[in-house]
Structure 1
Amino acid sequence: MIPVNEPLLDGNEKIYLNECIESGWISSDGAFVERFERAMANYVGRKHAIAVANGSAALDIAAAALQLGPDDEVIIPTHTIISCASAIVRTGARLRLVDSSPDTWNMDVTQIEAAITSRTRAIMPVHTFGLPVDMAPVLALAKKHGIAVIEDAAQAIGQTYDGRQCGSFGDISCFSFYANKHIATGEGGMILCDDDALAARARSLRNLCFKPERRFVHEELGWNYRMSSLQAAVGLAQFEKLDAHIARKRQLGQRYETLLRGVRGLELAPVACPYADNIYWVFGLILDDSLPIDADQARSMLADAGVSARPFFWPMHEQPVFLKQGLFDGEHYPVAERMSRRGLYLPSGLALTEAQQDKAVAAVRNMLATFL
């Protein structure tokens, strides 16, 4: 079975992990956390970087650092991972959803202004699948209405928007270093920002809100969301290979695109948009409506051929956990609904070989031949 993702750990990971073990610094203390934070901040062009336990933790802290609450609303794409929504819902704030753009598979920024109300406190653009959100309209609306931008760049490490690094646009920006990311630490995440007070608040929230002057006296509840030195050691080694990882991802994506271009029954991942070329975090495709199968059935057929595939996100407005709370009743977002039912992505890990890629392509072609 070809895995949907296999990380590449061929840099200084073992050397740095041994340094942690030999020094005894394996918790959140030690030099590697600070070194990893500094490397990411410099790369993205931000003043502050706060390493955390995972990408979901980064979103939780971002929402809490902005002091969102029950009187507030936050605009997010319905087609995203549930971490984005749960971080907002847990603050008591209300979610306002927008649909996806069929051209980029990201949030449709033309729908944002209609979703803004007097209660809107933030917009959360989420860069998905390889292309960035069109940030210029997002930033213009945020400035016009005096609202914050929480930028989720988890899938866009190393991607740029008009030549500027993703993760550099939000009032507060979040990254993930899950095993399938361009920088993989197994788990792990990071918050980036330029505001000193916001950074200090984020650092406090990730560390149980200890008071510097009296450690075990707390005026606010935070989390133990610290990143370990072991994670940071792997992250720093991965960061050192980031340019090579991005080049490899683009090579894999472009090869998939060449091998599957023109195949009937498929809508392939967009190659580019006016402000960026696809970084191919994963290689996604959408099944044509004429096919009598959905993404789940396609994945089952591919699995029978020894190829793992993963579905696209399920929309927030159709999540049972939110429907049970009375959220999004009667709301429909047709582009996201189609993507969730007919979208999947092929094995896209950095360790993928050309032979494995050829096998995945053959499996897709054979599957389609059953119906076309």
Structure 2
Amino acid sequence: MKIPLLDLRGQYQQIKGEIKAAVNSVLESGQYILGEQVEKLEKEIASYCGVDYAVGVASGTDALLLSLKALEIKPGDEVILPTFTFFATAGVISHLGAIPAFVDIDPISYNIAPEKIKEKITDQTRAIIPVHLFGQPAEMDKIMETAADYNLKVVEDACQAIGAKYQGIQVGNFGNAAALSFFPSKNLGAYGDGGMVLTNDKLLAEKIKRLRLHGGERKYYHQEIGYNSRLDAIQAAILRVKLEYLTEWTDNRQRVAVTYNSAFKENKLDGMVSLPAKKIRDSTHVFHQYVIRTGDRDRLKLFLEKNGVSTGIYYPLPLHLQKCFKGLGYQEGELPVAEKICKQVLALPIDPGLNDEEISYIVKLFASKMR
């Protein structure tokens, strides 16, 4: 049995008629950058996420970058973020000449540990980027309280968490802005790169619209130095089709996660493997990834893949120990929770179409190797 981490080909087969029609409509229109399809998608995403404004950009990375730029993060400013996240969360800070201030994570949610944030705040701190990692919301009430106490901006990295809720409220509604990614493997993925900024601040939305278009509101007139970060109309049209299925796919991801949990417990493996756990009551995990922890990760990964099961490691090295950040002076052992977790995490297949037989096969492989 061969089981991919995510079956994008199978997903396409389910909706290819709608996708082809959507792409053809854009090709016939002659409008390939921004335009009507992007404007409609922005309104639909804003409605789905419960925010006032959504601005389409070229990628999730750019959504973070433009948000920080619009909030006037400058060279020398410090921005607090978790060390356990995708590189872009930190990379955009450095691109602006600002300084990433890495914080350790909570061992249950893998998100930034709120109680550790205050320890990193200095006179140069200007913002916090909480990451809703793997689809589970960060503890936004505590984070926003700290931000208010120290007058800090907040940009939510919701690139893996569209549709997730924290205490009944959609992620993207807490900070000054939030970033979404439409990378193909995301819960709502394009067939190329794409991203979006969410905000409830009209002036901020207008500024990000300028920044994505070389700093201008109309052709050849530039109010500031901006970027080329426009969402393609074809990607917007594809995303509009897929958005209609997002709730169903999210429900299925949650079903897969519940089935995994049950199967691990039935096979008496839950004491040997740390399963994903919700940290906050009334929060909603959308399972961009189903990530377990085990002390025998590398051997199990090799064994699973030899038996046809694709897996992933998100992430093998925390950001504070990456070579490119060596100049910041972090030492091994400084952020111990993340360092330990990086050696243990293993992402299992989480395709919305995964069936009970496939999940049972994966868990039985675990059982055969761990006993």
* TM-score, scaled to structure 1: 0.91
The 8 Å contact of residues 109 and 278 in structure 2, kept in 1 or not, is answered as no
The 8 Å contact of residues 108 and 279 in structure 2, kept in 1 or not, is answered as no
Q: Secondary structure at the match of 2:154?
A: strand
Distance 2:65 2:180 in 1: 12
Corresponding position of 2:248: 244
- Equivalent pairs: percent with the same residue? 30
Q: Secondary structure at the match of 2:26?
A: helix
Q: Secondary structure at the match of 1:51?
A: strand
Corresponding position of 2:215: 209
Q: Secondary structure at the match of 1:268?
A: coil
Residue identity in the other structure for 2:226: G
Distance 1:34 1:219 in 2: 22
Q: Note the 1:64-79 alignment, pairs <5 A.
A: 64-79=69-84
- 2:330 aligned with 1:328: yes
Distance 2:49 2:187 in 1: 14
Corresponding position of 1:366: 368
Residue identity in the other structure for 1:54: S
Change (3 A) 1:114 1:207: same
Change (3 A) 1:112 1:60: same
Corresponding position of 2:99: 94
Change (3 A) 1:128 1:29: closer
Corresponding position of 1:42: 47
Corresponding position of 1:24: 30
Corresponding position of 2:165: 160
- Structure 1 residue 71, shift from structure 2 partner: 2.9
Change (3 A) 1:53 1:332: same
Q: Secondary structure at the match of 1:144?
A: helix
> Alignment length, in residue pairs?
360
Q: Note the 1:191-270 alignment, pairs <5 A.
A: 191-210=197-216, 212=218, 215-216=219-220, 218=222, 220-261=224-265, 262-263=268-269, 264-270=271-277
Change (3 A) 1:327 1:19: farther
Distance 2:121 2:279 in 1: 29
- 2:283 aligned with 1:276: yes
Distance 1:356 1:13 in 2: 28
Distance 1:272 1:330 in 2: 27
Aligned-residue CA RMSD in angstroms? 1.9
* TM-score, scaled to structure 2: 0.91
Flag structure 2 segments of 5+ consecutive residues without an equivalent.
Answer: none
Distance 1:130 1:367 in 2: 29
Q: Secondary structure at the match of 2:343?
A: helix
Change (3 A) 1:216 1:113: same
Distance 1:228 1:157 in 2: 20
- Structure 1 residue 297, shift from structure 2 partner: 3.6
Residue identity in the other structure for 1:247: D
Distance 2:234 2:352 in 1: 21
Distance 2:139 2:217 in 1: 40
